[in-house]
Amino acid sequence: MSTPTIRSRPTVPTKEPSIKASDSATPNVDQDALNPSLQRQPSKQQRATQSLTSTVANLANLLPTGTLLAFQLLMPVFTQNGSCDSATRAMTLVLLALLALSCFLASFTDSVKNSDGQVYYGLATSKGLWLFDCPDLTFKASAAADVNKKREFRDWLHAVVSVLVFGAVALRDKNVVQCFYPTPGKETQEVLNIVPIGIGIICSLLFTVIPTTRHGIGYPVTPGK
C-alpha cells in the first residue's frame, strides 16, 4: 500500500520595503540663505552713492526752516504728485523761483537780543542791521550803526550757496523731476543723478570752511548770542 505524497505549499516571496531617499520628501533649502557670506552685498560705488545722497539730504538742514517746510508741503500740490501739465509746470517754476529767492534773502537776515531778552530780526545793510519790528527806537538806531552786523562778503557767498543747495534738494525731489522730466533720457538721468551730489559736496565744503555767524529768519538762535 503506497503512502500518499503531501505537496508543499508554494512560498510567496515577501516584498521588502524599499528604503530610498526621495528628493521630494526633503524640503528645498536655499543655500544662499544659510550662508550670509554668499548674499549679494552692495558694491563700493553703490555705497558711495548712498553716502553722497545722504550728504545732500543733510544739507537741507542749512536751509531756512520755513522755506523748506513750504517746499515739502506745496510741491506735491503744485506738481499734482509729479503729473504736471503746461499750467502746473509754469506755476511750479514760479514757486521754485520764489523759494530760491527766499533762501537768498534769508542769508542777509540776522537777529539781536535786547536787554529784556526779546529777540528782534533785521536785514543786514552796508552800515549795520536794520530791524523790522523793534519798538525801541534807541536800540534800533544802535543796531543800525553796529559795524559788527553790517553786510559782508561771506553773506553774499552764503546766499549763492543757499540757492545752490536749494536747487540740489529740488533736483532730488521725485515730484519736481517727474514734472519737468517725465521721461528723461540716459544722459539727462545721469545729469540728474550727478549734479545734485556734486553741488552738495562743494557746498558742504564751503559751509565748513566759511561758516556763517548770523542767526536770521528761519534759522535757530544760539543761546547766549
**49 Cα distance to chain centroid:** 13
Q: Would you put residue 82 in left (φ > 0), alpha (ψ -120 to 50) or beta?
A: left
Same-domain check for residues 184 and 102: yes
| Residue 196 grid cell | 545734485
Domain count, the chain: 2
On whether the CB atoms of residues 59 and 168 are closer than 8 A, the answer is: yes
| Residue 220 grid cell | 535757530
Same-domain check for residues 71 and 129: no
Same-domain check for residues 103 and 158: yes
- For CA atoms 107, 101, 162, 66, the dihedral sign is positive
Q: CA 143, CA 76: separation in Å to the nearest integer? A: 41
Kindly give the parts of the chain with pLDDT less than 70: 1-62, 218-225
Going across the sheet that includes 109-113, the strands are: 109-113, 119-124, 129-131
Same-domain check for residues 82 and 121: no
Instruction: Decide if 198 is inside a domain.
Output: yes
Q: CA 57, CA 74: separation in Å to the nearest integer? A: 18
On whether the CB atoms of residues 124 and 109 are closer than 8 A, the answer is: yes
Same-domain check for residues 101 and 157: yes
pLDDT at 9 (0 to 100):
52
Q: Whole-prediction pTM value?
A: 0.69
Same-domain check for residues 101 and 169: yes
Same-domain check for residues 88 and 158: yes
For the stretch 150-159, pLDDT in tens is 899 999 999 9
122 pairs with which residues across the strands? 110, 131
pLDDT at 204 (0 to 100):
81
Instruction: Decide if 117 is inside a domain.
Output: yes
- For CA atoms 170, 174, 179, 183, the dihedral sign is positive
pLDDT at 147 (0 to 100):
84
Instruction: Decide if 41 is inside a domain.
Output: no
120 pairs with which residues across the strands? 112
**Domain around 124:** 109-150
Instruction: Decide if 143 is inside a domain.
Output: yes
